[in-house]
Amino acid sequence: MSVAYPPLSTVEADPYESRVGAEWSAQPRQDPVVWGSAEGPLAEPQLTQYAEQGYFAATELLSLNEAAELLAEANALAAAADVTAADVIAEPNSKVVRSLFRLHRTNDRIRQLVKDPRLADVARQMLGSEVYVHQCRVNFKPAFQGKEFFWHSDFETWHVEDGMTRMRAVSLSINLTENNEFNGPLMVVRGSHEYYIQCAGQTPANHFEQSLRKQEYGVPSREALLFLVEQGEIVAPKGGPGSALFFECNTMHGSVGNLSPYPRTNLFIVYNSVDNGLVAPFGGLPPRPEFLAERELIPVTVL
């Protein structure tokens, strides 16, 4: 289904302006955290945790066999990938695959997985609507050489560079390998979703070509990160294959490099509300490629 999006001029005044000055600031979020009701797969305590902390950990979202099959699929895709393709991202100064994008469109196994009620029904409950996949990728952190992902709020990038209007999306990181304290687990700042960090600086043209390898714009200053951590704390919800983390789109997160002899591989799926389709990017630059931000609303029920 193709959708025509209104130009920025017809959209309400931007409540989440960013990258427009030399100083950072912290603004209270203007949107609900949970858009739906208590009816759904998550019990009230789980939904409350997500609302208050900005994340919810699922210890056994997928079985060990499912995780192993997905890992084998991901490794095969990486081995066959053309590192010069736009939707294949290599590690900085390397030809080692860092991320493979848009797998919900190109891979049958993952296309079926994003429709799975264990995933999609949670997203529907959190977002209060039917959902579509905004972005889907596998992130690899090879043993000894997998680089860090610096602290960032996904929503800040999706708002400025893609045109996502409201904080009405949820990210899901599924562990396909063990995620432990040694191989660079995903870290989140508890409660950080309640503040929108307006970042300093301006976005360069074609910023995504560098930011997917090493992000330097749209990241919090040291002072901003200290502010967020002092409100909450840094946590790293680790787990084995098949465990997962649902986290709100404005939650500050990142991960350190992998110096261990064990790789870390995660499947990353972003569900966005069909009522939150993309408009013109709020940063004023052309939209990023669709492998980074789907601009066609295809509900997961018909993907």
Q: Where are the beta strands (DSSP E) in 162-288?
A: 169-175, 187-189, 195-198, 234-235, 244-248, 253-255, 264-273
pLDDT at 73: 97
pLDDT at 3: 36
pLDDT at 5: 38
Q: Domains in the chain, ordered, with CATH?
A: 20-302 (2.60.120.620)
pLDDT at 94: 79
pLDDT digits (tens, 9 = 90+) for 98-120: 999 999 999 999 999 999 999 99
pLDDT digits (tens, 9 = 90+) for 45-88: 999 999 999 999 999 999 999 999 999 999 999 999 998 999 99
Cα torsion angle, 139, 143, 147, 150, sign: positive
pLDDT at 201: 84
Reference 246, options 101, 124, 150; nearest CA is 124
* Model confidence at 240: pLDDT above 50: yes
pLDDT digits (tens, 9 = 90+) for 7-22: 444 446 788 999 988 8
Average pLDDT over residues 263-285: 96
Of residues 201 and 242, the one with the higher pLDDT is: 242
* Model confidence at 93: pLDDT above 90: no
pLDDT digits (tens, 9 = 90+) for 117-168: 999 999 999 999 999 999 999 999 999 988 888 999 999 999 999 999 999 9
Q: Which amino acid is at 74?
A: A
* Model confidence at 206: pLDDT above 70: no
Q: CA 293, CA 181: separation in Å to the nearest integer? A: 31
Average pLDDT over residues 160-177: 97
* Model confidence at 208: pLDDT above 60: no
Model confidence band, residue 210 (pLDDT cutoffs 50, 70, 90): low
Contact 149, 209 (CB under 8 A): no
Average pLDDT over residues 264-283: 97
Question: Cα 214 from chain centroid?
Answer: 16
Contact 66, 50 (CB under 8 A): no
* Model confidence at 179: pLDDT above 50: yes
How crowded is the C-beta side of 139, counted as CA atoms within 13 Å? 26
pLDDT at 197: 96
* Model confidence at 209: pLDDT above 90: no
